[in-house]
Chain A
Amino acid sequence: MSKGFTPSPATPAVITANDLRQGHCVWMRDGDWTADPREAELFEDEAIAELALLDAIAQASVVVGPYLAEARRGPDGCPEPTHFREAFRRRGPSNYFHGKQAEFAQTELEASNV
């Protein structure tokens, strides 16, 4: 699991959580939250990541359970998960094509088709 993880230039991380009201997965970007994991901010510096995590924890009436999840920069420059759990969180369940992430996955599929 990705909890308790420390980012470094070799193993960067994103901050992720669940939206308090709706429950869906969200990722931190500029101190705010996005449902599109490609927009997540990739932290390579431990100190900056820790500060951002503190900020995330302070947003307790917006999100639940924020944590650092190991990620890497993908070919398109966007962060990509390194562990399958985070991949499933971003894509949604494999039995149905739905979840907030489905919309994102759809655009990603379309993008990969061009």
Chain B
Amino acid sequence: MFDARPQHNDQHREYLRHRAQQFRRQVERRLDGSLTEEEFRPLRLMNGVYLQLHSYMYRVAIPYGAFTPDQLRMLGHVADRWDRGYGHFTTRTNIQFHWHKLVDIPDSMEALNSVGIHSIQTSGNTIRNINADAFAGAAADELEDPRPWAELVRRWSTDHAEFQFLPRKFKISVSAGKQDRSAVSAYDIGLRIVEQDGVRGFQVWVGGGLGRTPHLGQVVREFLPQADLLPYLEAILAVYNLTGRRDNKWKARIKITVAERGLEVMRADIEEEFLRRRQQFSGLDQEILNGLRAQFAPPEFLDAPVEGYEAARAANGAFRSWTDTNLHPHRIPGYASAIITLKGPGETPGDMSADQMRLVADLAERLAHGDIRVNHDQNLVLPHVRKADLTEIYAALREAGLATANAGKITDIIACPGMDYCTLATARSIPIAKDIAAHFRARGLEDEIGEMKIRISGCINACGHHHLGHIGILGLDRAGVENYQITLGGDGYETPTLGQRAGAGFPAEEVVPAINRLVDAYLELRESPQERFIDAYRRLGVAPFKAALYPADA
């Protein structure tokens, strides 16, 4: 049955207080020896607490990537008080703190809870943080704001008794643009808001997932009436819960269930279950949704002259370049969404300092309707900015080292923490990402190359989305030496494709030269500067790029 907990109200706060106290006692019992590590581990994981290479890591959810200035400020406070002055934003719109002490986590948790954020279901075999388009509520091509739906799904899935012990983790993403900006095909369930004969519904994708055996999702329902969303999701989860493999961790994701049983069989089961489940929904979910819609009502957009903005663009080349690269079209004239990339020179992709968090929180509060997002490229977004205010925002960001004009470019690299932090890693990701970015910055080629998605993971789990990179890099351990395998042609969006392995891996010091040869080959082979790397790759196939990567074989 649908249950509306937890909400942003007293009941919600009470619930979080209860959960934090419970965890505090569990930590105490672990420290005094009344819980063994074996008993404690699942309890800490239920609260997003991992033990990593050098320390505990605390993973906090940012539902559909949206947060308020107060929340971002509190993340900065937590980073300063209980960590090492920074946090790491992930492709799943969580923030991870890498240096928490176990004894401090209950305090940190309570501080975050006080502004309504938490770490429930950020780990474990349950429905994880819900993702959505980072431009939700702002994008010009959007059918409607997907956030109320994402929030409805979050409330339904949080603490859903039936789905706490799924065969494996479960990830859901919602997209509402004409363009898919949340990579719905890479999720266990991907939802796209679509319109048919003037009626809104969901196109439902199922069975996507990266990791050891990557699969793209398939459409299990072309059109689901909007009001049926929760019973339909419940049907999918129920079928997966029952038929998903529990004998083998590596085969337990729904992508394998769909691949093994076949989409048709899954669809038949889901539809049958759906008919049963639908009767159990009294309509309360739709009442709640209507309340949520009011909560996500757009801010009061102000009319503003844009002449000053155009003049600043004409006068300041660096500002012009930043606006050309880092803005996204807003549905209201005179407005834009601004991307703040966390990929400045020498920076670790996704890392943000506490000072930077406070600065962005202040800017958002003062000049951007108090709305902040994090996207799955590990960048922040100010969704609603008056163009007239962009010069001031740009100046402040620039001073804080946050105005790098590289959104979607070759230096805007996604990288997982890799073996610099992660216990599961087989090689490092961060230094490779930094070296590639530094190399192409030094060559001054970012704009010339245009859109280019490089993504790096430190092991087969694919947290860095390397399968979806135009150029993907996977770190491996080859006889005790770091080695990097390159995949080509991945794309997460409109025409989703998984990258194909190009050939033998490269030692760390040969990765940059290899990517450099690849990029030079592209620049040579493209029909025009408008033809992106991924388009050239699709037109020409792998051969010329393989020849560039492995000149000795050619």
Query: Which A residues are within 8 Å of any B CB, using their own CB?
Result: 18, 20-25, 60-61, 64-65, 82-85, 88-89, 92-96, 98-101
Contacts and interface: CB of A to CB of B under 8 A. Distances in A.
B54 A84 contact: no
Given A93-B54, A94-B420, A95-B348, A23 B37 contact: no
B228 interface: no
A92 B31 contact: no
A65 B41 CA distance: 11
A61 B30 CA distance: 7
A65 B551 CA distance: 45
17 contacts: A18-B51, A21-B103, A23-B56, A60-B36, A64-B51, A65-B37, A65-B51, A88-B419, A88-B428, A93-B53, A93-B54, A93-B421, A94-B431, A95-B348, A96-B84, A98-B84, A99-B55
A22 B102 CA distance: 6
Contacts of B268: none
Nearest to A70: B480
B444 interface: no
B100 interface: yes
B101 interface: yes
Given A23-B52, A23-B55, A95-B434, 12 more contacts: A18-B51, A20-B31, A21-B31, A22-B103, A23-B99, A60-B36, A64-B37, A65-B37, A85-B477, A88-B420, A94-B428, A99-B99
B264 interface: no
Contacts of A21: 31, 101-103
A96 to B, nearest CB: 8
B102 A60 contact: no
B259 interface: no
Contact of A84 (B51, B100, B351, B482): B482
Contacts of B348: 95-96
Interface string B91-110: 00000001111110000000
Contacts of B56: 23
Given A61-B33, A98-B84, A85 B419 contact: yes
Nearest to B56: A23
B54 A23 contact: yes
Given A23-B101, A94-B428, A94-B431, A99 B54 contact: yes
Nearest to A100: B54
Contacts of A93: 53-54, 98, 420-421, 430
A24 B55 contact: yes
Interface string B49-69: 001111110000000000000
A98 B430 CA distance: 15
Nearest to A99: B54
Main secondary structure of the interface of A (DSSP, over half): loop
Nearest to B428: A94
B53 A89 contact: yes
A22 B101 CA distance: 4
A16 B492 CA distance: 41
B481 interface: yes
Interface string B72-115: 00000000000010000000000000111111000000000000
A95 B420 contact: yes
B85 to A, nearest CB: 9
Interface in B184-222: none
B514 to A, nearest CB: 20
Nearest to A1: B477
Contact of B480 (A60, A84, A94, A96): A84
B304 to A, nearest CB: 40
A93 B351 CA distance: 13
The 3 A-B pairs at the shortest CB distance, nearest first, are namely A93-B420, A23-B55, A23-B56
Contacts of B99: 23, 99
B51 A23 contact: yes
A99 B419 CA distance: 14
Contact of A101 (B54, B103, B431): B54
